[in-house]
Structure 1
Amino acid sequence: MRWQGMWTSWKTKGIAAAAALLLLGGCGGNGGGEGNGSASPAPSSSASSAPLKEVKVVLDWTPNTNHTGLYVAAAQGLWEKRGLKVEIVQPPESGADQMVASGEAEFGVGAQEGLTMARQQGIPLVSLAAIIQHNTSGFASLKEKNIKEPKDFEGHTYGGWGSPAEEAVIGSMMKAQGADVSKVKFVNAGMADFFTAVKKDIDFEWIFYGWTGIEAELRGIPINMVYLSDFNKKLDYYTPLLETNEDMIKEQPDVVRAFVEGASEGYRYAIEHPDEAADILLKAVPDLNADLVKASQKWLADKYQDDAPRWGEQKREVWAGYTEFLKEHGILTKDLDIDAMFTNEFLPK
């Protein structure tokens, strides 16, 4: 699992399709930013004799420990007690963003980079919670390559997926050390995983340490990691996150609140009981590597909330910082309403 969610976030085809669906369906609203008045406070849903409201949450990739809190919420009835019946589904080729934007799925797992580009396209996705508080992704290479910091990328081959953001990120990190990104060879690695790619002609790739890095540990393969957040504060963005669209916030705030509260309780359980949470994920998805899930879950347990006052909380400066980074590198071509891109409104107090 080379790039657990970012690859699908940048698929231009998916974004374009979502835009078309929005035009046909009239998806829109007044924004979902914190304090923008788009949704009035509502109490949590409680269990009653009324039928459960059926909704979907679409993942960004195949199930993994980024998603554990969702599987805990489903297994422990944390959504049902709030009046929801939530189906967890895997994404189509065009990605989770399209399903959420069109309303085919009420909720999804996304990433700040994909959501930001969607907003530039006029697609009103809104982030509801940061699944992991800090960016745990970075550039991985076999230790024998001796790539320890961005300047060491020179003369090496990077295996990516063809997004303009890749060269911008790598280039900005190298420039800060006086290195030249033109001395990096960029190739499309397709869907090959990290371990397959680095056995061929690729020297480094972009991974989440919490999954691929842990897998390297279990395989006994020494790697070096160059974390984005260590070299540029603006790259310490939210990935992954939970998202919805503005129509859901405007028209069904009680459903949004119930979903976020259930997910929050699920992730808090994963933080406090990583071993038991891993068992829940494995029971739901038995084909996963049990040793990897257990080790990854333990590693992620204190990363979900980290230094935030509560799980899921997002800072405006993080959203503004990454947006500025994209503008600086010509990837984002217009000003965006930062406060409409995220909200903390539905998190439990």
Structure 2
Amino acid sequence: MTTSISLALEYFHPWPNSAGFYLARHRGWFADAGIDLQIRTVDPGIGDSLEHLGRRLVDLAVFPTNRLLVRTERGEPLKAIAAVNQRGLETIRTLTSSGISNLAQLAGKRVALNPTPRGVAIVRDLVAGAGGDPDTVTLVDVGARELTSAELAGGAADATFGSYWAWDILLSEHPDRPERIWRVDEELPFGYHSYLLGAHDDLVNRNPLLLADFQSISERGFRYAAQHPDETVELLSDVMPYFPAGVIARSLDAISSTWFYENGWGTVRPELVEPYAHWLAGHGILTAPERWSAAFANTSAASANHAP
């Protein structure tokens, strides 16, 4: 008996952070377990991967931790079952020609970003934490886009928040445009899982064995992808043919370092969720951070709720 499972990725197109799912499918490991895996990108006209999951347009999805916490606090029946990344991926990016050598110097400058409450709060905290005045930062709304180094050189902004050090920056860096990069989770007083894997409560409750199999096979795929980069790049070059193989290879090398904790894939770590939830609450994005573990199913996080 074969069970069809659909997975929505976290972005507008596949990128190496999804390599484990593609490798496991390509090598037949999902099929061997009776799973017919369909990997999909989201339709922006509908919403993000969590919106697709909430509407039951897909069975599983990859999504950011903060968005899950917001939705589950609203009572949406969604659960994370595994962590894809063991750290954050975002950066503050500028060109050395901007003269900005520390985050405090963003004061009085133009910073491009998607001005979500979380994004604005992170930029303000980074500037303030470095000793600058966040009230003097001019925010440039670029929506979901990430400015390229060429656009920064052209004056679109002085710096940008959001570009992933393991992807976006690699797409547009140029030797004639040297850059300064700050990895956000190294500047904030807390870390976080950039992406999680999750499902609708109905599937979590109805078929936990299927989800356990899916997670186990995914771990095998991510481990294989990290250990066999040449084969992985070859496969991904077919999945995402409009990106140079050299960039895919560099991205894979960078992002694979975020997949494992103590040699295991999927571990949800309370120390990367609870402080983050309280920070989100401190900025009015959550109201009940002590209930963060309600967003997780059958994980170490779910059993580590410190709320009474």
- Kindly indicate whether the alpha-carbon contact (under 8 Å) linking 2:82 and 2:299 is maintained by their aligned counterparts in 1: no
The corresponding residue for 1:67 is: 18
1:278-323 Cα offsets, whole Å, 9 max, x none, are 1111123323322211121122232321x43411211112111111
After TM superposition, the structure 1 = structure 2 runs for residues 51-62 of structure 1, keeping only pairs within 5 Å, are 52-61=2-11, 62=13
Tell me: CA distance 1:88–1:329, structure 2 relative to 1, closer, same or farther (3 Å): same
1:192-234 Cα offsets, whole Å, 9 max, x none, are 4421542232122221100122234466632111122222232
The corresponding residue for 1:318 is: 272
User: Whole-Å Cα distance in 1 between the matches of residues 247 and 53 of structure 2?
Assistant: 29
> What amino acid sits opposite 1:227 in the alignment?
R
Is there any run of 5+ residues in structure 1 with no aligned partner, and where?
A: 1-49
Deviation of 1:262 after TM superposition, in Å, equals: 1.7
Q: Normalization by structure 2: what TM-score?
A: 0.89
After TM superposition, the structure 1 = structure 2 runs for residues 1-349 of structure 1, keeping only pairs within 5 Å, are 50=1, 52-61=2-11, 62-93=13-44, 94-195=47-148, 197-198=151-152, 199-205=154-160, 206-217=162-173, 221-234=177-190, 236-305=191-260, 307-343=261-297, 345=299
- Kindly indicate whether the alpha-carbon contact (under 8 Å) linking 1:171 and 1:181 is maintained by their aligned counterparts in 2: yes
User: Whole-Å Cα distance in 2 between the matches of residues 89 and 269 of structure 1?
Assistant: 21
Cα root mean square deviation, aligned: 2.0
> What amino acid sits opposite 2:268 in the alignment?
Q
Q: Normalization by structure 1: what TM-score?
A: 0.79
User: Whole-Å Cα distance in 2 between the matches of residues 147 and 344 of structure 1?
Assistant: 45
> What amino acid sits opposite 1:95 in the alignment?
D
Q: How many residues end up aligned between the 2 structures?
A: 294
Compare the two structures and name the one with the higher strand fraction.
Answer: 2
Deviation of 1:335 after TM superposition, in Å, equals: 4.1
Deviation of 1:330 after TM superposition, in Å, equals: 1.8
- Kindly indicate whether the alpha-carbon contact (under 8 Å) linking 1:107 and 1:244 is maintained by their aligned counterparts in 2: yes
- Kindly indicate whether the alpha-carbon contact (under 8 Å) linking 1:130 and 1:314 is maintained by their aligned counterparts in 2: yes
1:35-62 Cα offsets, whole Å, 9 max, x none, are xxxxxxxxxxxxxxx2x10010011111
Tell me: CA distance 1:219–1:71, structure 2 relative to 1, closer, same or farther (3 Å): farther
User: Whole-Å Cα distance in 1 between the matches of residues 284 and 175 of structure 2?
Assistant: 40
Tell me: CA distance 1:190–1:136, structure 2 relative to 1, closer, same or farther (3 Å): closer
> What amino acid sits opposite 2:29 in the alignment?
L
Tell me: CA distance 1:187–1:217, structure 2 relative to 1, closer, same or farther (3 Å): closer
Tell me: CA distance 1:218–1:274, structure 2 relative to 1, closer, same or farther (3 Å): farther
> What amino acid sits opposite 1:101 in the alignment?
G
1:134-169 Cα offsets, whole Å, 9 max, x none, are 113211111211333321211111111220112211
- Share of identical aligned residues, percent? 21
Is there any run of 5+ residues in structure 2 with no aligned partner, and where?
A: 301-308
> What amino acid sits opposite 1:334 in the alignment?
A
Deviation of 1:344 after TM superposition, in Å, equals: 5.7
> What amino acid sits opposite 1:313 in the alignment?
T
Secondary structure of the equivalent of 1:155? Answer: coil
User: Whole-Å Cα distance in 2 between the matches of residues 299 and 159 of structure 1?
Assistant: 24
More relative contact order, 1 or 2 (CA 8 Å, 6+ apart): 1
Deviation of 1:84 after TM superposition, in Å, equals: 0.5
Secondary structure of the equivalent of 1:302? Answer: helix
Tell me: CA distance 1:183–1:290, structure 2 relative to 1, closer, same or farther (3 Å): same
User: Whole-Å Cα distance in 1 between the matches of residues 173 and 155 of structure 2?
Assistant: 20
- Kindly indicate whether the alpha-carbon contact (under 8 Å) linking 1:109 and 1:242 is maintained by their aligned counterparts in 2: yes
> What amino acid sits opposite 2:223 in the alignment?
R
